[in-house]
Amino acid sequence: MPSILKTKARRVLCYLNKYGFSNIKLTIYIMKENSSLEQVVELEQHFIDSLKPNLNVDLVASGSGYHEPMSQEMREKLRKQRGTPVYIYNVEDLTLLYAFGSKQQAYDLINIHHKTLNDCLNLGTIYLDTFFFSLDLIEESPETNFLHLDQIKSLVSDKRDVYNVKHPAAKSILAEFKDEPKKNLEFDSLNSLAKHLKGDRQVIREYLKGEKSGYYRGKWKFTYKF
């Protein structure tokens, strides 16, 4: 997602943001279910030594480099969460802040609307300009800022107060379809526009601000309505 690539929080994100994905090959190596942690580390070290990757910050598997792997204690703590976990990260550096046991727990604990959370999970919408939600555990994420429940509730509440001041009201947006005015649409917010088009909010915002020229996806032109 462009909104995550733009953070450039890790060396690999900087690379992908600059060069794209055309020269990338993804290989998934599936180990046996009963593989031990030592075997996983040994295999990781084998690939590091043989491939000599230039995007790895730490060239020692499970070493103490900048992106130290998540501890077994933390993994076990997260596994004990009920339901399908929802992870909340700081979007600036993808630091894991908290793991909710389920969507319902996130609704109840931080008062986030179910549609808003779904937009965050499905579209990559950044919540309150601060939080990135995911159903996936980014295992390279630093764990030093893993918060207690009262801390994450307080942090979200504080960010919400600041956000409401910065964004006192959503602006209506006119989406004009190229050469076919009958297909023009009006949306009451950037969120609803991004959801309808299944697009990235940050990219759409850049078109709205004139930071990107031309038509979005070759079809749409966006303008604010006051």
First to last CA, the chain: 30
- Mean pLDDT value across the chain: 81
**Among the listed ranges 36-45, 51-60, 134-143, which one has the minimum average pLDDT value?**
134-143
Domain identity same for 79 and 160: yes
Look at residue 73 and tell me whether its pLDDT is greater than 70.
Answer: no
Domain identity same for 150 and 190: no
The span from the CA of 188 to the CA of 192, in Å, is: 7
DSSP element (H, E) containing 199: none
Domain identity same for 88 and 161: yes
User: For position 199, what pLDDT does the model report?
Assistant: 87
For 67-86, what is the mean pLDDT?
59
Look at the chain and report how many structural domains it folds into: 2
Look at residue 153 and tell me whether its pLDDT is greater than 90.
Answer: yes
User: For position 82, what pLDDT does the model report?
Assistant: 43
Give every CB contact of residue 183 below 8 A, 6+ residues apart in sequence.
177
Q: Are 4 and 201 in contact (CB under 8 A)?
A: no
Taking only the tens place, the pLDDT of each residue in 88-122 is 999 888 888 998 988 888 999 998 988 899 989 98
The span from the CA of 125 to the CA of 62, in Å, is: 32
Final residue belonging to a domain, choices 138, 165, 192? 165
- Is 55 part of a structural domain of the chain? no
- Is 20 part of a structural domain of the chain? no
Domain identity same for 152 and 91: yes
Domain identity same for 76 and 131: yes
Give the phi and the psi of residue 110 in degrees, each rounded to 5: -120, 10
Taking only the tens place, the pLDDT of each residue in 158-195 is 998 888 766 666 678 899 999 898 889 988 788 888 88
User: For position 81, what pLDDT does the model report?
Assistant: 45
User: For position 75, what pLDDT does the model report?
Assistant: 57
Total Cβ atoms within 10 A of residue 107 = 16
The span from the CA of 48 to the CA of 133, in Å, is: 30
Domain identity same for 79 and 126: yes
Domain identity same for 209 and 131: no
User: For position 205, what pLDDT does the model report?
Assistant: 87
- Is 57 part of a structural domain of the chain? no
Taking only the tens place, the pLDDT of each residue in 46-63 is 998 898 888 877 777 764
- Is 17 part of a structural domain of the chain? no
Final residue belonging to a domain, choices 150, 165, 180? 165
- Is 65 part of a structural domain of the chain? no
pTM of the model: 0.47
Domain identity same for 111 and 194: no
Domain identity same for 197 and 114: no
* Owning domain of residue 136: 70-165
Of all residues in the chain, the percent with pLDDT exceeding 70 is 80
